[in-house]
Homo-oligomer: A and B are copies of this chain.
Amino acid sequence: MEPIKSFELSKEYLESLQDSIEIQNNSFIIESFEGANVADIASLLDELNMDEAIYVLRLLPATTAADILIELDEDSLIQVIRELETTELAGLIDQMESDDAADILILMPTKDREDVISHLQEKEKSANILDLLRYDEDSAGGLMAKEFIRANKNWNVVQTIEEIRRQAEKVEKIYSIYVVDNRQHLLGRVSLKKIILASSDTKISDIYEPELISIPTHMEGEEVAEIMRKYDLESVPVVNAKNRLVGRITVDDILDLIREQSEEDIQAMTGISADVEESDSIFRISKARLPWLLIGVIGGLMGAKIIGFFEVGLSKYIALASFIPLVAATGGNVGIQSSSLVVQSLASKSVFDDTPWQRFIKGLLIALVNGVVLATFVFLVVVFIYGFESIFGFTIGLAMFCVVLLSSFMGTVTPLVLDRFGINPAIASGPFITTANDLLGLSVYFGVAMLLLKL
């Protein structure tokens, strides 16, 4: 087979690349990468083994290698930075914006991290990175970069363009120029469009828009994302407690954050404990999934004990067993619906939201409506189609009604309580809470049945 000549995201090209690495055909590698996007090269390196990936990174110019490093999968990235020499890694970090540098350094043990920072060329960058590392990774401070263009309100357009020229290499994408006073307080922003259209001697103070939206360093990333979505922002300035401009957050980091968070939410809901992907090894996936499955199994075994407790009654009215799955499934469905509505509304909090107490009342009313409809339906089917006695139908119906109410209550309250304690409320739809609800539901079902059927 003729090896593939130019860069392409394909299994065939991946094989030619691996062959070329083995025979050290460096010119093929370098030539075929020309014009390729760094994110695509990173996807490709994610598929290589670690020695191969490092071989390729060492071949490329530092600026390119740095851009690729930022785009690697976290798994590959951790392996690669562990293998690179301290000076090599410092050389790559010299080429990065401060937020990307901090994102990489945070993955290293503190000692190695300090070692790398001490090898950086520019003292200003070291200081910036150390500053960023102080903030919580998921806060605005942890998301922001220290590279951006700021203009003093007393400058004119020419002075501002001079500043852009000075910073052009450091600041890859500009979006807005932030306007500050002499003490670095944020006053507003001016767009590049306005700079282009203004005459050279126009003063910045005459054309800037007073900035209404700025983000404090401690704000949570999720909230920053919601603000940028709501106000259609592609970048947003970050200020400290004294309203001094300390950084900016750009939308590309927010897109990554949103994706990570929606994956985390789904993992919380489905009970896959570690950060796994379908492409990971069989044992890694098994290991990530087993803990939650075990919780479910232990819950099921406890459920067996609960049912065993009612065994005498059950043996007198064996048909009760038939409706266990009905009651369990309905409880589960109602609980997940309730909790997901609450989780969704917690994700975009608004001052017009109901108070917890109003939510509780509303959830109760919805549960009453749904409970009555479902219980009536079940009663009718059990009595008139399945032909059971009406007292039995009434028992199943009433048990259903109680389970709907209970699950709805648990589904509404659990995420609110979790959120209050700063825990991701999506866990409320996960296996732990679901299992607990199942057990409660079973107890209610048999409790009602024993009472009504006098068993």
Residues of chain A touching chain B, judged by Cβ–Cβ distance below 8 Å, are: 9-11, 14, 35, 37, 39, 43, 46-47, 161, 164-165, 168, 173-175, 191-193, 195-197, 210, 212-213, 225, 228-234, 251-252, 254-256, 258-259, 262-263, 266-267, 269-272, 276-279, 282-283, 285-286, 289-290, 292-294, 296-297, 299-301, 303-305, 307-308, 311, 314-315, 318-319, 321-330, 332-334, 336-337, 340-345, 350-354, 359, 362, 365-366, 369-370, 373-374, 377-378, 381-382, 386, 400, 429, 431, 434-435, 438, 442
In the complex the two chains form, is B192's CB within 8 Å of A174's CB? yes
Chain B residues within an 8 Å CB radius of A294: 374, 377
Number of copies: 2
Chain B residues within an 8 Å CB radius of A434: 329
Residue of B nearest to A385 (CB): B301
Cβ-defined partner of A354 (8 Å) among B255, B279, B283:
B279
Give Cα A301–Cα B324 distance, bound, in whole angstroms: 10
In the complex the two chains form, is A229's CB within 8 Å of B212's CB? no
Give Cα A199–Cα B316 distance, bound, in whole angstroms: 94
In the complex the two chains form, is A323's CB within 8 Å of B341's CB? no
Binding site secondary structure of chain A? helix
Residue of B nearest to A232 (CB): B252
Given contacts A255-B229, A255-B251, A342-B278, whether A326 and B351 have CB atoms under 8 Å apart is no
In the complex the two chains form, is A164's CB within 8 Å of B301's CB? no
Give Cα A378–Cα B231 distance, bound, in whole angstroms: 53
Give Cα A255–Cα B232 distance, bound, in whole angstroms: 8
Give the Cβ gap from A439 to chain B, nearest Cβ, in Å: 8
Given contacts A252-B234, A330-B300, whether A370 and B286 have CB atoms under 8 Å apart is yes
18 A–B pairs (Cβ distance < 8 Å), ordered by A: A39-B232, A161-B196, A164-B197, A173-B234, A234-B252, A271-B336, A276-B341, A278-B362, A279-B353, A283-B369, A289-B370, A293-B330, A293-B370, A293-B374, A303-B322, A307-B321, A329-B435, A329-B438
In the complex the two chains form, is A14's CB within 8 Å of B352's CB? yes
In the complex the two chains form, is A319's CB within 8 Å of B323's CB? no
Cβ-defined partner of A326 (8 Å) among B232, B297, B319:
B297
Residue of B nearest to A311 (CB): B318
Give the Cβ gap from A312 to chain B, nearest Cβ, in Å: 9
Give Cα A230–Cα B43 distance, bound, in whole angstroms: 10
In the complex the two chains form, is A278's CB within 8 Å of B341's CB? yes
Chain B residues within an 8 Å CB radius of A340: 266-267, 269-270, 272
In the complex the two chains form, is B307's CB within 8 Å of A325's CB? yes
Give the Cβ gap from A394 to chain B, nearest Cβ, in Å: 16
